[in-house]
Structure 1
Amino acid sequence: MIAIGAFDGVHKGHQAVIKQAVEKSRICQVPSVIYTFDPPPRHFFRGVQILTPIQEKVNRIAKLDVDYVIIASFTEWYATRPPEDFICELSKLNPVEVNVGSDFHFGKNREGDVNLLEQYFPINMMPPVYCKSGKLISSTRIRQLISEGDFQQSYSLLGWRTGME
């Protein structure tokens, strides 16, 4: 099982994707693999604040009982690769299933999407995760809350004991 994403913040939505990959990997008796990026693509392209530096991200992912973490170095070269390169790279990992969010895109100009992945791998598209108030949990929303000084709610959405430790 492979879960792919930027996972910046490793918030409750990310945790749901990762936990499902871990649970299914145990059932299928295969390793759980998290494929993530450093820096996160939105930081690379837009300069957005990074919620979790790479070592913190890896530590938080490890606490979710993941077997392996692959960190792709998100560089200019990586960002300009055609989607087929990413598919070729994934195929070398021989995934039983690939877990992604519904908005997952990859490759140059975000040309690759879930529909393209489905042509090569079994896909489990995770639905968005919402908080109790019905609002989407996302890294973008958490960044907004932090910029507004609402650390309590941002910590709640992150779902980690002490927030951004």
Structure 2
Amino acid sequence: MKVHQTDSLTLSGSVVAIGAFDGVHRGHQAVLREMVRTSQSAGVPSVVYTFNPPPRAYFQGAQVLTKPEKKIQLIKSLGVSHIVLAEFNEKYLQRTAADFIKELSQMKPNKVIVGDDFRFGNRRSGDVSLLKEHFPVQLINPICCTEGKRISSTRIRELLIQGKQEQAVPLLGWT
């Protein structure tokens, strides 16, 4: 797997999953495995586009579940071809939605996989509808645990804050 900075990856085709992927938890793992399968059947590389720090940590001071090195290691273990690790800082926040679309266009995505609430660009001006104007988009369905509750980084953080590691660790799916 190759690690790239923003605006540095050019491909002739790809399947791209975009998200914070903080924790690379069981829900993320399911999405990324599906992305890898889809990219392999299409004969194109898989790309994870993610952020350091995760936006929630940057804006709200949320606990970061995985340091960049660990996140990269976990994503690599899932068979992903490329990772774009965007440095989420003041400069990145100035990028417009058009800048983000232009960067994704360099990867020539056959499919872009995002959550239904995905926003991008300065002041969150871009959304899934705008993304769909430029690329085929697949929305991620929530991944739930055996109890039927959604697996999310926010839920895992809350469990850790409450000292419920025995409930959080199985949701992460790694130790």
Same fold per superposition (TM over 0.5): yes
Q: Is residue 149 of structure 2 the alignment partner of residue 131 of structure 1?
A: no
Residues 128-164 of structure 1: CA distance to partner in whole angstroms, max 9, x if unpaired? 111111211110000000001110111111112x2xx
Partner residue in 1 for 2:34:
20
Which deviates further from its counterpart, 137-146 or 96-105? 96-105
Q: Counterparts of 2:21 and 2:38 in 1: how far apart (Å)?
A: 19
Partner residue in 2 for 1:83:
97
TM (normalized to structure 2)?
0.89
- Three-state SS of the structure 1 residue aligned to 2:109 is coil
Q: Is residue 122 of structure 2 the alignment partner of residue 145 of structure 1?
A: no
Report the Cα offset of residue 80 of structure 1: 2.6
Q: Is the 8 A contact 1:142 1:154 kept in 2?
A: yes
Q: Is residue 105 of structure 2 the alignment partner of residue 100 of structure 1?
A: no
Q: Residue type matched to 2:139 in 1? A: M
- Three-state SS of the structure 1 residue aligned to 2:134 is coil
Q: Residue type matched to 2:131 in 1? A: L
Which deviates further from its counterpart, 49-58 or 125-134? 125-134
Moved over 3 A (4+): none
Residues 10-40 of structure 1: CA distance to partner in whole angstroms, max 9, x if unpaired? 0111112211110000000001111111111
Stretches of structure 1 that go unaligned for 5 or more consecutive residues are none
Q: Counterparts of 1:110 and 1:129 in 2: how far apart (Å)?
A: 25
Q: CA RMSD in A?
A: 0.9
Stretches of structure 2 that go unaligned for 5 or more consecutive residues are 1-14
Report the Cα offset of residue 69 of structure 1: 0.8
Q: Counterparts of 2:48 and 2:79 in 1: how far apart (Å)?
A: 11
Q: Counterparts of 2:142 and 2:118 in 1: how far apart (Å)?
A: 12
Identical amino acids, percent of aligned pairs: 51
Aligned residues: 161
Q: Is residue 151 of structure 2 the alignment partner of residue 112 of structure 1?
A: no
Partner residue in 2 for 1:74:
88
Partner residue in 2 for 1:61:
75
